[in-house]
């Protein structure tokens, strides 16, 4: 049995055309015919009906198709597992990250990872924490990086960085003269807030409730979809907000906004890599997780 025969057979089943199969697999059309004939000789039964205008599978071919797909999938997974024992890790690593990990934490880590694994191509996709979590659970992403999430069965969470959330305000804001700001002062002022699935918002609202402040009592001027939009809006004097210290430090150093702590409001959090427990992880993903753990 030649696995290339199965690959050709699966492609013929998908394209319903020997000529399209030849183009997709970079083969000649006679080579495609030869692979199908060899597979039919191996099983001793006709698998493909060529008598019609378009190619169709016979009943035997339709029976074989899911098994052929499973065989090739198993071989692909075996290769991915074996690659973890070789010195060279290659392939594509896609990481879905929420705003703070994606913009401020992961880039230098990725740079160091690429120095160690130069044959890995990395795609970094940034969205809010809720969307990243959903895509990991649905299997669209093998690896996510988030600032807050609700623990779920079957989800592995690996801590990889610490983050601090701070109150930011325009330099001319009335609270600017306060060195110590209490939670009770917050409902008196306007805020710009992150969108509902933001990890930053989740952490802040949870701590406000613990401090006796109902987040619904805050005067929310606008809900914004990115940390950069929040920073720009606060710099424009439109209100207060909470963001990661990592995001605010550049603007604070230039005097465009001020950073303050809210008394009795501990806003430190852990950033996590997340993946499904029972999902097969290819070599680049495993290498990145091990790199983070080290």
Dihedral of CA atoms 238, 242, 246, 250 in degrees, nearest 10, equals 20
H helix intervals, the chain:
3-15, 18-25, 29-43, 59-83, 99-100, 106-116, 129-137, 199-210, 227-235, 245-253, 283-293
| pLDDT, tens digit, 9 for 90 and up, residues 115-127 | 989 989 999 999 9
Q: What is the pLDDT of residue 196?
A: 84
Instruction: Report the chain's mean pLDDT, rounded to a whole number.
Output: 88
Task: Supply φ then ψ for residue 270, to 5 degrees.
Answer: -105, 140
> Is the model's pLDDT at 52 over the cut of 90?
no
Q: Using alpha carbons, list the distances in angstroms from residue 9 to 27, 100, 269, 277.
A: 13, 46, 52, 33
Domains of the chain, earliest start first? 3-83 (1.10.10.10), 91-158+270-293 (3.40.190.10), 162-267 (3.40.190.290)
Q: How many CB atoms lie within 10 A of CB 46?
A: 14
Q: Using alpha carbons, list the distances in angstroms from residue 55 to 40, 144, 207, 231.
A: 15, 42, 63, 59
Q: What is the pLDDT of residue 80?
A: 66
3-state secondary structure of 290: helix
Measured between alpha carbons, how far is 192 from 189 in angstroms, rounded to an integer?
A: 10
Q: What is the pLDDT of residue 130?
A: 87
> Where are the extended beta strands (E) located within 15-149?
48-49, 56-57, 91-97, 120-126, 143-146
Q: How many CB atoms lie within 10 A of CB 83?
A: 17
| pLDDT, tens digit, 9 for 90 and up, residues 9-37 | 999 988 888 888 888 887 888 888 899 99
3-state secondary structure of 81: helix
| pLDDT band, very low/low/confident/very high, at 2 (cuts 50, 70, 90) | confident
> Is the model's pLDDT at 86 over the cut of 70?
no
161 bridge partner residues? 271
Instruction: Tell me which residue has tokens 């069965």.
Output: 153
Measured between alpha carbons, how far is 289 from 279 in angstroms, rounded to an integer?
A: 14
pTM of the model: 0.64
């Amino acid at each position: 049995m030649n696995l290339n025969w199965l690959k050709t057979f699966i492609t013929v089943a998908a394209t319903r055309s020997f000529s399209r199969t030849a183009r997709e697999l970079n083969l000649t059309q006679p080579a495609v015919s030869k692979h199908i004939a060899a597979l039919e000789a191996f099983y001793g039964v006709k698998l493909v009906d060529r008598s019609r205008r378009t190619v169709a599978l016979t009943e035997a071919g339709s029976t074989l198709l899911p098994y052929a797909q499973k065989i090739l999938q198993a071989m692909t997974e075996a290769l991915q597992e074996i690659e973890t024992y070789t010195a060279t890790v290659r392939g594509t690593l896609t990481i879905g990250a929420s705003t703070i990990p994606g913009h401020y934490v992961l880039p230098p880590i990725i740079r160091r990872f690429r120095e160690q694994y130069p044959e890995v191509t990395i795609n970094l996709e940034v969205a809010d924490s809720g969307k990243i979590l959903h895509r990991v659970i649905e299997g669209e992403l093998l690896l996510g990086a988030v600032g807050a999430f609700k623990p779920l069965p079957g989800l592995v969470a690996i801590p990889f960085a610490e983050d601090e959330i701070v109150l930011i305000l325009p330099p001319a804001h009335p609270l600017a003269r306060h060195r110590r700001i209490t939670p009770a002062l917050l409902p008196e002022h306007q805020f710009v807030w992150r969108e509902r699935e933001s990890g930053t918002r989740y952490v802040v609202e949870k701590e406000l409730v613990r401090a006796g402040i109902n987040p619904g009592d805050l005067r929310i001027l606008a809900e914004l979809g990115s940390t950069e939009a929040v920073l720009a809006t606060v710099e424009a004097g439109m209100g207060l907000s909470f963001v990661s210290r990592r995001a605010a430090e550049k603007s604070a150093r230039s005097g465009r906004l001020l950073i303050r702590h809210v008394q009795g409001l501990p806003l430190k959090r852990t950033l996590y890599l997340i993946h499904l427990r029972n999902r097969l992880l290819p070599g680049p993903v495993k290498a990145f997780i091990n790199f983070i753990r080290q």
